[in-house]
Amino acid sequence: MESDSGNGVKAHGYKTIVYIICMVAALGGLLFGLDQGFIANSLDTLTQHYKFEVHDKESYSAILATGGIFGALLSGLFARFLGRKRSLVLAGFIFTAASALSALLPPLPMLSVCRFALGFGVGIASFIVPLYLSETAPAAIRGSMGTLFQLMITIGIFVISLSNVFIARVFIGPTTSLPLMFLTITLFAALMFAGSFILPESPRWLMLKGRKDRAVAVLQRTLGTQAEIDKEIGEIEEALHGPQGAGFGIVFRGYFFKVLLVGVLLQMFQQLVGINMMIYYAPTIFGYAGMTGLIAMMTVPTVNMLFTFPAIHLVEKWGRKKLLYVGAIAMIITMLAAGFAFQSIGSVSDPSLIGDAPKTLLLISVIIYIFGFAVSWGPVVWLVCSEIFPLEGREVGMTITTMINWTFAGLVMNYALSFMSRFGNASIFYVFAGFCVIAILFVAAFVPETKGITLEKLEFNLKKGVRLRNLGNR
Ligand code: BGC
């Protein structure tokens, strides 16, 4: 049984404020997923209302990524000058305002501005939430909070896919269903916006600004005993005397540049293996093969969410590189199989004439492909990018690598469907399979195994000039 120690701390738990911190942070991840997963099952409804052509579909989808690039670029500045809490309030406000405005079904240019703004909010949240958590959540739960963020992204994709299917079926006609789809995002966004007001500011940022008394007051709210508070304050002070966040000039230092390239290429390949073609356009692609209904709409988000759970465990057990290999091999085989399925469909123009064999092959390929990504390249790339940079360049490194992620995500969203219509439906699967092969070679040659090694040791090896691949050697 839990007992209350008198100051709101449960004997076997944390203070209520700690749960609020985690919840708001989880909502940040959820909103990332809600915006990312919104398109797949709303595209038909959007097309009915806005009379989308293929390229309109792509540009409306991809403008989220452009917003993400700018959000990620500016989030470092927001974090430093506004503080962590106010940056989260800002992200919450942008999410709420942009999704509520979209629900009014404004003309397309305005709707696109709103989606750009949502991307901007996602860019801020994906940088600030993990940073805020690492500075504010009690040490014992920091690690699991990091993985919670990734899990919430996939849960967000699942939730919005399901609710969009439900809304489209129950409320016929885009003028009713489309506003409801946007209002679903608004609901969660408003929760995050309201929740972020009651968050305490990050004690580390307060100390950075010389406001020790306020930092102590925050720690009194989140921690149990005076001894814990003194220890935390001591550690922050020590850290503040260590290397501080460097400016963008750090990219010109040889050791940093090398490791930056690893992060940049990892994020580039994370997108060039083709995941967002599936996350965004799976129902459209299944439609090309004559498959509609729940299987076409829900397979990708469901498999994606379910297989992120084992990843959290496997990443520590198997290590990062082994997972990247396994995932990439699964993706190569399944992309080739999906390409083959489309080739055997050939130029059958009436989808109802397509036989069961290519449909089954396509479905199985997509399931195993998503499994391959969810268990490996999805979580591992973000994790490795948070580990490889030396402390003084971590903010810069993560800003740049996050921007690269969004840049290549945008390219895939922007060109996947037109590539298929220009070069044939099978072609794009072979291209992505080719990128998976290059990705494996790159991992083998340059990516260090970071399992079970301290970040300090990685940094020490990097500055000593150890080869990239061996940075994780103890
Ligand atoms: C990727 C996103 C992708 C998501 C799917 C993330 O790791 O960065 O682009 O949509 O995984 O779960």
Q: Residue 145: which pLDDT band, with cuts at 50, 70 and 90?
A: low
Q: Residue 175: which pLDDT band, with cuts at 50, 70 and 90?
A: very high
pLDDT of residue 6: 38
Q: Which atom of ligand 1 is nearest to the CA of 157?
A: 12
Among the listed residues 377, 286, 276, 282, the one whose alpha carbon sits nearest the alpha carbon of residue 61? 276
C-alpha 269 to ligand 1 mean position (Å): 12
Does residue 328 have a pLDDT over 60? yes
C-alpha 353 to ligand 1 mean position (Å): 34
Q: Which atom of ligand 1 is nearest to the CA of 308?
A: 12
Please list the residues that pair with 4 across neighbouring strands: 10
State the CB neighbour count (10 A cutoff) for residue 143: 13
DSSP 38: T
Among the listed residues 94, 85, 89, 76, the one whose alpha carbon sits nearest the alpha carbon of residue 35? 94
Q: Which atom of ligand 1 is nearest to the CA of 271?
A: 9
Q: Residue 139: which pLDDT band, with cuts at 50, 70 and 90?
A: low
Which tens digit of pLDDT belongs to each residue from 285-303?
A: 999 999 999 999 999 999 9
C-alpha 241 to ligand 1 mean position (Å): 36
Rounded distance, CA 432 to CA 127, Å?
28
User: What proportion of the chain, given as a percentage, has pLDDT over 90?
Assistant: 65
Q: Considering only 106-110, 124-128, 452-456, which range has the smallest mean pLDDT?
A: 452-456
State the CB neighbour count (10 A cutoff) for residue 451: 17
Q: Can you name the CATH fold of 15-199?
A: Growth Hormone; Chain: A; (1.20.1250)
161 lines ligand 1 (CB under 6 A): no
pLDDT of residue 295: 94
304 lines ligand 1 (CB under 6 A): yes
C-alpha 221 to ligand 1 mean position (Å): 34
Q: Can you say whether the dihedral through the CA atoms of 440, 407, 71, 394 is positive or negative?
A: positive
275 lines ligand 1 (CB under 6 A): yes
Q: Can you say whether the dihedral through the CA atoms of 201, 207, 210, 212 is positive or negative?
A: positive
C-alpha 378 to ligand 1 mean position (Å): 6
Among the listed residues 473, 413, 415, the one whose alpha carbon sits nearest the alpha carbon of residue 448? 473
For ligand 1, atom 7, the nearest C-alpha belongs to 378
Among the listed residues 75, 36, 271, 46, the one whose alpha carbon sits nearest the alpha carbon of residue 160? 36
Name which residue leads in pLDDT, 59 or 241: 59
C-alpha 134 to ligand 1 mean position (Å): 21
pLDDT of residue 349: 72
For ligand 1, atom 11, the nearest C-alpha belongs to 378
For ligand 1, atom 1, the nearest C-alpha belongs to 378
Does residue 407 have a pLDDT over 60? yes
Rounded distance, CA 296 to CA 40, Å?
10
Q: Which atom of ligand 1 is nearest to the CA of 36?
A: 10
- DSSP 3-state assignment of 10? strand
The stretch 361-390 carries a mean pLDDT of 93
Rounded distance, CA 309 to CA 325, Å?
19
Provide CB contacts within 8 A for 148, sequence distance 6+: 22, 25, 26, 29
Q: Which residue has the tokens 């995002």?
A: 185
Residue 333 region by backbone torsions, left for phi larger than 0, else alpha for psi between -120 and 50, else beta: alpha
425 lines ligand 1 (CB under 6 A): no
pLDDT of residue 8: 42
Rounded (5°) CA angle 99-103-107:
105
Does residue 12 have a pLDDT over 50? no
Q: Residue 141: which pLDDT band, with cuts at 50, 70 and 90?
A: low
Would 15-199 and 248-474 be classified into the same CATH topology?
yes
State the CB neighbour count (10 A cutoff) for residue 158: 22
207 lines ligand 1 (CB under 6 A): no
Q: Which atom of ligand 1 is nearest to the CA of 150?
A: 7
Name which residue leads in pLDDT, 321 or 1: 321
- DSSP 3-state assignment of 69? helix
For ligand 1, atom 8, the nearest C-alpha belongs to 378
Does residue 216 have a pLDDT over 60? yes
Mutate to test the pocket of ligand 1, among 122, 150, 160, 276 (most ligand atoms within 8 A of CB): 276
Does residue 366 have a pLDDT over 70? yes
Joined tokens for residue 300: 């990708």
Which tens digit of pLDDT belongs to each residue from 40-86?
A: 999 999 999 999 999 999 999 999 999 999 999 998 889 889 999 99
Does residue 355 have a pLDDT over 60? yes
Q: Considering only 94-98, 143-147, 162-166, 177-181, which range has the smallest mean pLDDT?
A: 143-147
Q: Which atom of ligand 1 is nearest to the CA of 276?
A: 10
Q: Considering only 50-64, 263-277, 379-393, which range has the smallest mean pLDDT?
A: 379-393
Domain ranges for the chain: 15-199, 248-474
Residue 168 region by backbone torsions, left for phi larger than 0, else alpha for psi between -120 and 50, else beta: alpha
C-alpha 323 to ligand 1 mean position (Å): 16
Q: Between the CA of residue 240 and those of 233, 323, 359, 375, what are the distances in Å? A: 10, 36, 58, 36
153 lines ligand 1 (CB under 6 A): yes
401 lines ligand 1 (CB under 6 A): no
Pick the CATH number of 248-474 from 3.30.70.380, 1.20.1250.20, 3.20.20.300, 3.40.50.2300: 1.20.1250.20
Q: Residue 137: which pLDDT band, with cuts at 50, 70 and 90?
A: confident
If you average pLDDT over every residue of the chain, what do you get?
90
Residue 147 C-alpha from the chain's centroid: 11
Rounded distance, CA 457 to CA 449, Å?
12
The interaxial angle of helices 320-345 and 356-372, nearest 10 deg, is: 160
pLDDT of residue 143: 61
pLDDT of residue 458: 87
H-type alpha helices, 346-426: 356-372, 378-387, 394-423
Rounded distance, CA 119 to CA 116, Å?
5
Q: Can you say whether the dihedral through the CA atoms of 166, 172, 173, 177 is positive or negative?
A: negative
Rounded (5°) CA angle 27-328-451:
65
36 lines ligand 1 (CB under 6 A): yes
Joined tokens for residue 142: 């920091």
For ligand 1, atom 6, the nearest C-alpha belongs to 378
409 lines ligand 1 (CB under 6 A): yes
pLDDT of residue 7: 41
pLDDT of residue 172: 87
pLDDT of residue 113: 98
pLDDT of residue 126: 84
- DSSP 3-state assignment of 32? helix
